[in-house]
Structure 1
Amino acid sequence: MRPTTSTSDRFLLLVVFLAGVGTLGIEMVMPRLLAPFFGTSQPIWAVVIGMTLVYLAIGYRLGGTLADRNPDERLLYRLIAWAGLICAGIPLVARPLLSLAQFSLRYVVAGGFIGALLVVVLLFAAPVILMAMVGPFAVRLQIRRCEDGVAAAGRTAGTISALSTLGSIVGTFLTVLLLIPAIGTSGTIFLFATFLVLLGLVGLRDWRYGLMLLAVLGLAVAHYTLSSTIKSADCYNCTLLAEAESEYNYIQVARQSVVYANDTVDPRHVLVLNEGQATHSIYRLKYRQTDDPLDLLTDGGPWDYFTVAPYVYPNRDPASVQSLALLGSAAGSIPKQFLAIYGPETIIDAVEIDPQIVEMGREYFDLEDQDPRFPNYTTHIADARAWIATAERKYDVIGMDAYHQPYIPFQLTTVEFFQQVRDHLNPQGVAVVNAGRPASGDDRLVNALASTMLAVFPQVYMIDTRFSNAILIGVNEPVGDGVQNFTANAERMSIQALQLVMYWSVNEGRFGPIREFSPAQARYRPFTDDHAPVEQLIDGLILNEVTR
């Protein structure tokens, strides 16, 4: 056996640990790179995790084979340095490649999955495979240098695996919690590229590989020179105002000019997240001049209908609506309408998990939660389910705006969750859910949510918006004929904004007027925390759209 110094052994083990940091760091960047174009739904995560495992399997096999043929430590460091250099090329080619894939597959319902699969194969295969070769290569080197030889193979392999795993844990949390929020996706990739090239350079001690550092620097300069934004605004007739990458989302704020039939131009700010398949908040700028609640309405978008939900109760007066809790508040479109219609003293607790969205709401959507004119408006940065479980107040309206396909948090679809919501309603309170449908009108998600709500609330009502969304209303107390109550309340309503939305609800729902959801219509067993097959339901919707 050829002995080696303990210093060399320790350095090799350090390299294994640091390579683990780099490998998982690269993996955690993958979904963030894909998010602006294909979103972060479960199928996209399946692509990322599945293909990473494929690359690791290939790398483990190739690394072991190569190490047996040529157990040269310098070769190991060359592999690491080349992995870093290849990583540095990813940001430069990713955006045009992702844009092309998104455009080519825009009209394919499963296009996000297919596009993400193709892009991950093309962009990340080489660096992840190269990094996966480090572990088995290090095992071979350590066994060769160990005095006990094969007798220490188990201990050696276990040590290498443990160090690589610990490095992977550090790489995961470092990337997600610190690097991406601080320096963005591209900056994180360039940082890991530099880190890997430096690691290889230290092991090689060959100045020629220092040229790789210059190449990484050149690629970074080219990337930031050629690309000032991640992508253009993801909405029709829009100009990008700001973009950001948070811990949870890729965020865009755009200025949109809507032109009506009479050629009137209506400028507004819109919030778009991730792949841009939906608008999450709208703010019509005209309201800044008029202070008229009518100028906050979004032409029948789902945000408009939360304010009219309480009127399924008989003889309901606007003065009786005094509080709102909104789970999934985004940039504050729904609270803004409540304040404009029901008054600045309205109690509003808005829950949003992404603090970056809230900050952009304050800057671009005139979010009022820090305005002294609205003393009872608070934004809580929290997970909706955890927040409602510990909330102390009861509300006239609890709204839930977190059900956009394919992002359906299963924990917000269950009997246990809706029971928590009902426990926080005033006697004549309502729970309001914005449930999305595909453009075809497939109502399976809507029906599943309504079926579950019906297991908790004595009656459930449905309002079809002028878009494809459905608004589901669960009442805390039986209301009798809620449709008749709603119609009668609409006839004597004096607030114009409520008059208009109630008119839409009765006369212009895309799939029908306001109606009660009866037990006979329920096609799904109520979802529970133990069994809520939301992903299976969404997969079925996607398959149905593909085969239409």
Structure 2
Amino acid sequence: MTAKQFAVGERLLLAVVFLAGIGTLGIEMVMPRMLAPFFGTSQPIWAVVIGMTLVYLAIGYRLGGLVADRRPDWRLLFQLIGWAGLSCAVIPFIARPILSTAQGALRNVAAGGFLAALIGVILLFAIPVTLMAMVSPFAIRLQLRYAADIARAGRTAGTISALSTIGSIVGTFLTVLVLIPAIGVASTLFLFAGFLVVLSLIGLRDPRGLLLVITVVVLAGAYQLTTGVIKAADCRNCRLIAEFESDYNYIQVAEQEITYSNGVVDRRRVLILNEGLAFHSIYRLKYRETGDPLDLLTDGGPWDYFTVAPYLYPDTDPADVRSLALLGAAAGSIAQQFLAIYGPDTIIDAVEIDRTISEVGRRYFDMADGSPQAPYFTTYNEDARYWLATTDRRYDVIGMDAYHQPYIPFHLTTVEFFREVKAKLNPRGVAVVNAGRPASGDDRLVNALASTMLAVFPQVYIIDTRFNNAIIIGVNQPVGDGIVHFIENAARIDIPALQLVMAWSLYEGRFGPLREFTPEMAQFRPFTDDHAPVEQLIDGIIFSEANKMVR
């Protein structure tokens, strides 16, 4: 080989390695977004994505080295890239049936979501990621063949590894920040498929490679013509009316019909995120007709109880509740109840990290932030803890409903976080946390959060909702016998919606009435920013519940 041929071959090979790195990590970053509608984006699911990607890379590196040693041929390298692209183009067609089947088959099995996600990743992404991993060792072998100089082996391997890594970095940010938000998951996969088969065609310089390009184009067109919704709304008596993919979530809006014992049918809008384990907002459409705060109540769902938390203080009137900061606003259920009960001049600062969810709230849930009907209702699309640290306001109520089912962001569960919350409360303010528990009543998460709050607030109270959730309330200053104050305030208040929720709190809690959480009840060390094993705790609850079902 002449020096000129060597230089051209070396530059082309390095360019291929860089471009292949873009494709490899681009494909990987599609994985969690494709899994999210079925299994969520919890840590175990990310463990599946990262762990199996590393497995595929290890297998691909090994296979690439073996194949390259036996047949160090340029054409074979580009054929591998073309096959990887073609396999990407097939994924959108088979993803939904595979993931739906895996989700349904393992729904009631211990660690079912983890196992189902594992099956999905193995079946969908093993081929393209493994094939793309073969590129780097193959390129090193070809480069050494051109160099014919063992003294350059280390430099060659280092250069190729560095270029592959840089390409992977570009692929990561390009996919997450540009492609998925702009064109969606399936189109991103088709784009990478086309990119890889075109790269293969350039390297092979064989007109027959056009068949791969045409195949990918036909598959992409067929998918756009035949695709429907990503998945049906996974709730009883629900009809899907809209779905969206945001930077953070797969979002569904559904209409649900609830038939009461008297035969009355209640229509409502529900917000469902990702795998659909829970509703994140409910809006009863009857309120549009009546304007009655009673018609915003959700039959004892957790949203209903935030409005009654201030009444643990003695001699509290509705006129005393003038401001709310809501961390985890979703589509505005809690904020709407505050406005309906306490009046349109109530100051509400709602924090929702996902801008698309806020837009969905305005479009489908009549969320009135910034409107003439609610001039002091503002939504901030930021991280809740960052926003709290940077605001200079103080509030009568700071509510936390930042679930990402079934998990809570760990940094919203710690002593340091609750100290920040306490510092932003008015003297007679309250901090309110919505904590989930399974139907069996496993109280570990509730106890851990209450134990942590008790390390910050002088007194902590628990309201059990009519469903499974617990509402944990920390008071900014000692209230004495908060239950007696709550009963006395309930007797004086003349707002029917507040009266009803306060009665539920006292007499209809699923696991007991309103009660104080005392130091003797604490079973957990307070969570801190350094050590907050909330995911491990919730995983333990999930495993326990699944084992009960298996037995």
Partners of 1:357 and 1:181 in 2: CA distance: 14
**Greater mean deviation of Cα atoms: 216-225 or 242-251:** 216-225
Residue 19 of structure 2 corresponds to which residue in structure 1? 18
Paired residues of 2:277 and 2:405 also in contact (CA < 8 A): no
Cα distance, 1:60 vs structure 2: 0.2
Write the distance in 1 (CA, Å) between the matches of 2:97 and 2:216.
Answer: 19
What's the offset of the Cα at 1:370? 2.5
Report what 1:289 is aligned to: 289
Are the aligned partners of 2:436 and 2:445 in contact in 1 as well (CA < 8 Å)?
yes
Structure 2 Cα separation of the partners of residues 185 and 155 of structure 1: 37
Q: Does 1:133 align with 2:157?
A: no
SS at match of 2:358: helix
SS at match of 1:543: helix
Contact 2:435/2:469 (<8 A) preserved: yes
Residues 530-539 or 427-436, more deviating:
530-539
Cα shift at 1:8 = 2.4
User: Contact 2:445/2:538 (CA < 8 Å) preserved in 1?
Assistant: yes
Indicate the residue corresponding to 2:214 in structure 1: 214
Deviations 1:510-547 (A, max 9, x none): 00000000000000000111111112212211221122
Structure 2: which amino acid aligns with 1:312? Answer: L
1:49 to partner: Cα distance: 0.3
- Residue aligning to 1:423: 423
Two-structure CA RMSD over aligned residues (Å): 1.1
Give the secondary-structure state (helix, strand or coil) at the position aligned to 1:541.
helix
Cα shift at 1:235:
1.6
Structure 1: any 5+ residue segments left out of the alignment? none
Shift of 1:9: 1.5
Q: Structure 1 176/343 Cα, relative in aligned 2: closer, same or farther at 3 Å? A: same
Q: 1:375 corresponds to which residue? A: 375
CA distance in 1, matches of 2:262, 2:107: 31
Distance 1:260 1:109, change over 3 A: farther
Provide the C-alpha distance between the structure 1 equivalents of 2:277 and 2:2, rounded to a whole number of angstroms. 61
User: Where does residue 244 of structure 1 map in the other structure?
Assistant: 244
2: distance between equivalents of 1:261 and 1:214?
59
Aligned to 1:450: 450
Q: Secondary structure at the match of 1:539?
A: helix
Q: Deviation at 1:262?
A: 1.4
TM-aligned CA deviation for residue 404 of structure 1: 5.1
CA distance in 1, matches of 2:106, 2:69: 44
Q: Report how far residue 109 of structure 1 moved.
A: 4.6
SS of corresponding position for 1:65: helix
Deviation at 1:363, TM superposition (A): 0.5
CA distance in 1, matches of 2:440, 2:202: 59
The 2-side partners of 1:528 and 1:202 are apart by 55
Alpha-carbon distance between aligned partners in 2 of 1:37 and 1:521, rounded to the nearest angstrom = 37
Report SS of the residue matched to 1:428. strand
Q: Distance in 1 between matches of 2:57 and 2:234?
A: 34
CA contact (8 A) 1:92 1:222 kept: no
**1:150, CA displacement in angstroms?**
1.3
CA distance in 2, matches of 1:183, 1:192: 12
Q: Deviations over 1:223-250 (max 9, x none)?
A: 2233221111122111111111111000
What is the deviation of 1:110?
1.6
The alpha-carbon deviation at position 5 of structure 1 amounts to 3.6
- How far does the alpha carbon of each residue in 1:37-77 deviate from its partner, in whole angstroms, 9 at most, with x for none? 11111000000000000000000000011111111011100
SS at match of 1:474: strand
Match of 2:116 in 1: 115
Aligned partners of 1:405 and 1:538 also within 8 Å: no
Question: Which sits farther off after the overlay, 171-180 or 402-411?
Answer: 402-411
Q: Which residue of 1 is the match for residue 525 of structure 2?
A: 525
Asked whether the equivalents of residues 47 and 116 of structure 1 are also in contact (C-alpha less than 8 Å), the reply is: yes
CA contact (8 A) 1:404 1:436 kept: no
Could you say what secondary structure the match of 2:184 adopts?
A: helix
Instruction: Report what 1:230 is aligned to.
Output: 230
Please list every run of 5 or more consecutive structure 2 residues that lacks an aligned counterpart in the other structure: none
Corresponding residue number in structure 1 for 2:272: 272
Cα separation, 2, equivalents of 1:62 and 1:122:
19
| Segment of structure 1 superposing worse, 56-65 or 233-242 | 233-242
State the match for 1:72 in structure 2.
73
**Residue deviations 1:367-386, cap 9 Å, x none?**
11131221111000100011
The aligned counterpart of 1:353 is: 353
Equivalent position amino acid for 1:94 in 2: A
Deviates more, 1:373-382 or 1:51-60: 373-382
Other-structure match for 2:8 = 7
C-alpha distance in structure 2 between counterparts of 1:312 and 1:205, whole Å: 77
1:406 matched residue in structure 2: 406
Cα distance in 1, alignment partners of residues 284 and 293 from structure 2: 10
How far apart are the structure 1 equivalents of 2:221 and 2:405? 38
Give 1:2 deviation, angstroms. Answer: 6.9
Question: For the residues of structure 2 that align with 1:20 and 1:308, how far apart are their CA atoms?
Answer: 55
8 Å Cα contact 1:287-1:295 kept in structure 2: yes
Paired residue type of 2:389: A
Give the SS at the match of 2:489. helix
Output the CA distance in 1 between the equivalents of 2:226 and 2:518.
57
What's the % identity of the aligned pairs? Answer: 71
Letter aligned with residue 344 of structure 2: P
- Greater Cα shift, 7-16 or 199-208: 7-16
Supply the distance in 2 between the matched residues of 1:207 and 1:440 (Cα, whole angstroms).
64
Corresponding residue for residue 319 of structure 1: 319
TM-score normalised by structure 1 residue count:
0.98
Cα 1:109–1:344, aligned 2, differ >3 Å: closer, same or farther? farther
1:35 maps onto 2:42 in alignment = no
The alignment status of 1:506 with 2:506, answered yes or no, reads: yes
SS in 1 for 2:472: strand
Partner of 1:44: 45
- Which residue identity does 2:174 align to in structure 1? L
Is the Cα–Cα contact under 8 Å of residues 349 and 378 in structure 2 kept in the other structure? yes
AA paired with 2:22? Answer: V
Contact 2:93 2:223 survives alignment (8 Å): yes
Corresponding pairs, count:
547
Q: Which moved more, 1:118-127 or 1:230-239?
A: 230-239
What is the CA distance between 1:407 and its match in structure 2?
2.1
The Cα offsets for residues 364-406 of structure 1, whole Å up to 9 and x where unpaired, read as 0111113122111100010001110111000000000024543
SS of 1:542's partner is: helix
Q: How does 1:126-165 map to 2 (within 5 A)?
A: 126-147=127-148, 149-165=149-165
Q: Is the 8 A contact 1:351 1:380 kept in 2?
A: yes
> Separation in 1 of the partners of 2:415 and 2:123?
43
Deviations 1:100-136 (A, max 9, x none): 1111122225211010000111110000000000000
User: Cα deviations across residues 244-280 of structure 1 (Å, max 9, x unaligned)?
Assistant: 1111000001111111111211111110000001100
Aligned residue identity for 2:451: S
Paired residues of 2:30 and 2:185 also in contact (CA < 8 A): yes
Is the 1:458–1:478 Cα contact (8 Å) retained in structure 2? yes
1:465 match? 465
What is the aligned partner in structure 2 of residue 83 from structure 1?
84
Please tell me the residue identity of whatever aligns with 1:8.
Answer: G
Q: 1:277-308 CA deviation, whole Å, 9 max, x = no partner?
A: 11000110111111100000000000000000
Summarize deviations over 1:119-165 as a string: whole Å, max 9, x none. Answer: 11111000000000000000111111015x21101101111011110
Identify the range of structure 1 (419-428 vs 402-411) with the bigger mean alpha-carbon deviation: 402-411
SS of 1:509's equivalent?
coil
SS at match of 1:372: coil
Q: Say if 1:404 and 1:435, in contact at 8 Å, map to a contact too.
A: no
Distance between the aligned counterparts of 2:319 and 2:168, measured in 1?
A: 57
